[in-house]
Structures are given as structure tokens and as C-alpha cells.
Structure 1
């Protein structure tokens, strides 16, 4: 199955199927056979983790991402507060040094609602499309979206409460997000109103940071409370259509996370820390078809799996280049 087909299946909520032995390349079968002979003890795994920690900053990509996300959002705040007109507007629609930029999902909602195209909207949409085509669609979610950062901190609180058995993680079918994507699009088309933009925590937080807090922040707090107490990362995993929109762009992106099954110990730490763990099903023993596998476009490129992997089996790659980032 091609990378695009695999990514589209993941984006609409379908789980990847376990490959049959005939689908695996001979070299993959040989590696798995060798791994069955070796017994991975906790001591060996700890040794690999320690060696990786000495040679690698365990929070390198996370720290880079947090800094990038905070700086981008502060640019809007500083530009507005000091009226320097560097970045005007908010994440949903803005101008960078006078050049129009439009969030792809917001632009889609506006086009469906108003049923006509404005030149500035077309320019802004094309610009942002090309930008995230190069950077990898859902990179927007983890490297720019302010709700993602707050939800990440809420997730850490959820995990601490779950460790003490005070809460449990309720899971939903990921296909719900696809259904809601269609519903939000139909609502915009039929009502002439961008319904999703009213409840989108991304837009609410972006505007609150720039123009000051409003009553809509209560909705964001309710979402965070739900994620802490009921369902981990519920909004991003099961509701937000922005992820699908940018995921579709990401199917064509050259920037990807790549998995090497030969180095992998299959301990599963990457799937535990991943916001969208289904994209890492290939790291389960027996799931790889090739030695190197590009992780699907539903991946947010947050880098958490790259940071935590004790053997360096996961890395950022640009298609066509051999060197890791």
C-alpha cells in the first residue's frame, strides 16, 4: 500500500492491518527471525537507554517545538500591542508584513459558508498550503497551535492522575473525527455560518492572547477539564477537523518521521507518549513490511517519539535525502 493510501486510511479513522508474511520483504523476515533468537532483558534495554541519553538530548525536539510555538504566538501579541504591523490578525487569518495568510481549515469553512472566493483569501490559502506542504501538514498542530501546547500539559496531569488510579482514559472511535469533519462542512454550507470557528479552541486562544480574554475561554477550560478527567487528548484525537485538513496536505509533504525496524527493540515507549499512537502501529513487533517505513501523514511531527526512542529507530527525514535532521 502506498504512503498516500496508508495516510488517508489513518486520517479517516481506519486502523492499519497486520501484514501477512508474504507482504514482508525477505530482509525484514530475516531481521525478525534474528530478533526472536535474542532475549531482550530489562538490563539490555536500560543499557541502550543510557547510551542513547548520553548521545542525545531526550527533550531536544520537544524544547525546539515549544520555543517555536510560543515565539510564533507571541509575534501576534507583540505586533498588536506595539502596533508594529509585523503580523496582523490571528492564526485563523492574518497578514505577515502585509502578505495575506489564511488557515486552511478556516478558509475552507469561509468558502463553504459564503460560497464565493475573495482574491485575498485565495492568496492567503495558497501561501499557507505551500508552507505546510513543505513543512509537513500536521506540523501546524504541534508546532503552532496554542491549544496543542496547553492540551499537552493537561495530558501530563491526566497521566499523573491515571497513575494514581484517580481517572481512566475513555477512548472513542477515531472515525468520529471524520464524521464531525463532514458535519462542520455541511453546517457551513447550509447555514452560511462558520460554526466550527465559533468553538475552535485554536481560534479562541489565539484571539484571547492577542486581544484579551473573553467568555469563550470557559469553553476551552471545559475541554481541558474533560481531557484531564475523562479522555486524554479528546479534542485533537476525536473532534478537531483541522488535523484532517492539514493531514491531507501532509500526504504530499517531503518531511516525515521515519522508522527503522532493524534498530527497534519494540518496547513501545514511543506509542505511549504519542498523541496519535495509531500512526506508530508499525513499531509493534511483526508489523513492519520494509526496513524503513515513513510514518503516516496523521503524525503531527511533534518529535516526542524521536526524543524518547532508546535506540534511535525513529528520526526526522526529508524524502530524497539520506541524512536525518
Structure 2
């Protein structure tokens, strides 16, 4: 993909071309998307090797695991357990705090872009959805992300009133992770159903509107996160390609709108809490107006 010669929108760019970036001087390199996909695959290979070959670097699954024997826990599952049983084991608390601290340093909701296995599949479906819209086979639909917070409350409430981890029955992230590690189960049919909805009804609707896992990271660590995308107002020509490829594109629009308040400031960190740090906006920007920014790096 050569973002300097073309506008790399969803409908105008082939999926596999986005894995290789052509720089200004014509050299080719792996895109941020390629590095993300490699990370997702590597994490689940380590899970698989732990279960099948007993190489215990990363044990368990995406919902709860141990890295070199150290506990890691999905923060939303910890909240579910607290709601369902009124108490949480110390190992779960330590695991959740460790994960939250990691994402506080390395990017708020970055779990969704860099670790979640369903995110990879959903991005493939997103491309197919864009093609169907371009051919007028289906309509473009966009839902308010307020629904994510509604479902977040409903899933926690269901755990509280039922005494059961209700969301984990339909959690496509956990279902896919367990499918990769342990093998087939009928639960994978639910994942297929969700994927088909994203193909033919609405772009990445699970991630954008329903999944409470990403919402938890958004609420707890996205705002104070040390790592965010930085936007350079002087470099930007407002072509809109970054908004097109971002499945939560209005956070970029919000940042640009807020920049009008400050006439002197030239660089702004993405202000929305839903950014997954997927880096797709960075990959497609033909003026290099977007980049990763870490406050710790500045201090050093």
C-alpha cells in the first residue's frame, strides 16, 4: 500500500496490500497492522503450545492466564465475578491490576487492537462489508456507541442477579480464544453468526456497540494512558482517509474539532477513550500527521 500516491480508504485498498507500506523514498516495510496481526497470532500460539506441548510461557486463554507463572486476568471478568459471587480471589485481583497497569503504560484499549483474536477476524469482515456497501448490495449503517455502555451495565447486572457469568456464554473473544487453543465446540457457531451480522448488517458492530471487554479498558485506563495517537494539525490536509479506516472514526473528528479552540497548539493527543491504538490511521496518512506518542519516552 502506498499512502503517498493513493487514498487508502477501505473500499479502494485491498486487504493484503495494507500489510506492506511503501515509504516516501519508495522502500517497503511491514505496516503497523502487520505487526498487530503477528502479535495476536504469537500470543495464541504461545497459549496453544502451553496446552499441547507443555511450553509454559503463556498458559490459559485470553480470559485468564499466567505469563511465566504470573497471574493475568481480564478486568471485566473480575467485575463479573464480584457481581455474581460478592467476592474475588486475590489472584484475580492481582491479575486484573497487572493487566490494567500494563495498558495504562502501553495504550488504554490497545487490547482490542493488539491482542483480541476476534479483532483480527472482524477486520477481515470489515473489508468485505465495505465492498458490499460499495456495490449497493447492503446499506451503510452506523450505531451510536452509547449502546456499549448500556450493554456493559446490563451484563454486570445479569451476573449480579443470576449469580452466573452470563456474558462469558456469548463472549466471542473467549469463544474464539478457546477454539484456537482447545479445539472445536458448538459455541463457535455463535461466533459465526456474529461475524455474518458484521458482514451483512453493520461494520464491526460487536466491537463498536456490544463488547464490554473493550468498554472496561476504555473506562478504566484509556483517559490517563501514557500511550496515545498524536495528531499534527500543521501536517494534516483533512482528506478524511484516517476517519474512513478507523472504526471509531469520530474520535479523530472530535480531536480535530477540539483543536480549533487552541490556535497556538500544533500537536494534539487523540482525546476519545475508545481508540484501540490499531495504528491504521498512522499507516494510511500520506502527510505523516499521525504517530504514536508515549509520555514516558518524552520524560526519558
Please indicate, yes or no, whether the TM-score normalized by the shorter chain is above 0.5.
Answer: yes
* Cα deviation 1:243-277 (Å, max 9, x = unaligned): 21111212111111011111100000000000211
* Cα deviation 1:160-197 (Å, max 9, x = unaligned): 22221212222222111111111111111111111111
* Between 106-115 and 203-212, the greater mean CA deviation after superposition: 106-115
8 Å Cα contact 2:7/2:241 also seen in 1: no
Counterpart of 1:306? 282
Counterpart CA distance in 2 for 1:220 and 1:51 is 35
8 Å Cα contact 1:91/1:203 also seen in 2: yes
Q: Which SS does the other structure have where 2:25 is aligned?
A: helix
Counterpart of 1:182? 153
Counterpart CA distance in 2 for 1:218 and 1:279 is 33
Counterpart CA distance in 1 for 2:111 and 2:96 is 14
Change (3 A) 1:214 1:321: same
Counterpart CA distance in 2 for 1:54 and 1:162 is 34
Q: Which SS does the other structure have where 1:218 is aligned?
A: helix
Change (3 A) 1:110 1:227: same
Report whether the alignment pairs 1:167 with 2:138.
yes
Change (3 A) 1:48 1:90: closer
Pairing partner for 1:254 from 214, 218, 226? 226
Counterpart of 1:29? none
CA drift at 1:55: 6.2
Counterpart of 2:268? 293
Counterpart CA distance in 2 for 1:285 and 1:109 is 37
Pairing partner for 1:280 from 236, 252, 271? 252
Counterpart of 1:263? 235
8 Å Cα contact 2:40/2:116 also seen in 1: yes
* Cα deviation 1:43-66 (Å, max 9, x = unaligned): xx8599999543675752111111
CA drift at 1:86: 2.4
If the length of structure 1 is used for normalisation, what is the TM-score?
0.80
Counterpart CA distance in 1 for 2:98 and 2:147 is 30
| Aligned length, in residue pairs | 279
Counterpart CA distance in 2 for 1:257 and 1:56 is 24
Counterpart of 1:124? 95
If the length of structure 2 is used for normalisation, what is the TM-score?
0.87
Structure 1 consecutive aligned stretches of length 4 or more whose deviation exceeds 6 Å = 47-51
Counterpart CA distance in 2 for 1:288 and 1:76 is 47
* Cα deviation 1:208-244 (Å, max 9, x = unaligned): 1111111111111011100010100000011111121
Note the residue ranges of structure 2 that are not aligned, 5 or more in a row: 9-20
Counterpart of 1:95? 66
Report whether the alignment pairs 1:229 with 2:200.
yes
CA RMSD of aligned residues (A): 2.3
CA drift at 1:321: 4.0
CA drift at 1:98: 1.6
Change (3 A) 1:91 1:160: same
Change (3 A) 1:283 1:163: farther
Pairing partner for 1:112 from 73, 83, 90? 83
